[in-house]
Amino acid sequence: DTAVSQTPKYLVTQMGNDKSIKCEQNLGHDTMYWYKQDSKKFLKIMFSYNNKELIINETVPNRFSPKSPDKAHLNLHINSLELGDSAVYFCASSQGLGSLSPLHFGNGTRLTVT
Amino acid sequence: AQSVTQPDIHITVSEGASLELRCNYSYGATPYLFWYVQSPGQGLQLLLKYFSGDTLVQGIKGFEAEFKRSQSSFNLRKPSVHWSDAAEYFCAVGSNAGNNRKLIWGLGTSLAVNP
């Protein structure tokens, strides 16, 4: 019954590898997001998709590439992983396009790059 | 510049004590304000939001917040804290102005509860 689910929960990998994180929401929401939370708990939006269209593309390295096959799914692929990519990555969804729609978050994927 | 400030990085209270977490914002348009809670190992969950109307809003888990425009504040309160309230609390501001699609987030306040 999980509303926003992301896999895997933990991801440990070496520098230079490529990895993907998957996200699915069953809330029927139109908009999905990727957030990065660093070790100091700072939340930074990375990307947002509305009905499969990219609408927010923050200044992140182009090693990060989101993909939304349909409005219920948003994946994040990361190429050539670096130590600084270690963080918790949260997927979220909302109904509506603007910043006023409450966000529903997944439980996060803790990425550790060694 | 648009910003959200949570002045207290870390707060410790005793179980049963009252709680107030501060949030101040700087925003050019009419602000729409949110408080989210993040329990350990979990994603964020919406506690409450303020869009308009009564400046005292009630949320889940017994929390409330008061919007004070003159002070640019939206402080979160709870009369009696439970051990399960230990978590990270985030204040955020958004707007329906123009093409705004992003929330501005505070850096969070970490709440510890002593038994």
Q: Tens digits of per-residue pLDDT, B71-101?
A: 999 999 999 999 999 999 999 998 766 556 6
Average pLDDT, chain B: 93
Residue B92's closest CA among A105, A53, A30?
Answer: A105
What amino acid occupies position A110? R
Q: What is the per-residue pLDDT for A59? A: 83
DSSP code at position A103: P
Please check whether residue A75 is in contact with residue A20, taking contact to mean a CB–CB distance below 8 angstroms: yes
Average pLDDT over residues B5-29: 95
End-to-end CA distance of chain B: 41
**Beta carbons of B93 and B25 less than 8 angstroms apart:** yes
Task: Answer whether A99 sits within 8 Å of B100, measured CB to CB.
Answer: yes
- Closest to B74 (Cα-Cα) out of B59, B64, B61, B86: B64
For tokens 């939206």, the residue is B74
Cβ of residue B41 closer than 8 Å to a chain A Cβ: yes
State both tokens at A88. 């918790």
Q: Output the tens digit of pLDDT for each of chain A's 114 residues.
A: 679 999 999 999 999 999 999 999 999 999 999 999 999 999 999 999 988 888 888 889 999 999 999 999 999 999 999 999 999 999 999 987 766 788 999 999 999 999
CB-based contact (8 Å) between B35 and chain A? no
- Residue B101 tokens, joined: 């699609």
On whether any CB of chain A is under 8 Å from the CB of B96, the answer is: yes
What distance, in Å, lies between the first and last C-alpha atoms of chain A? 34
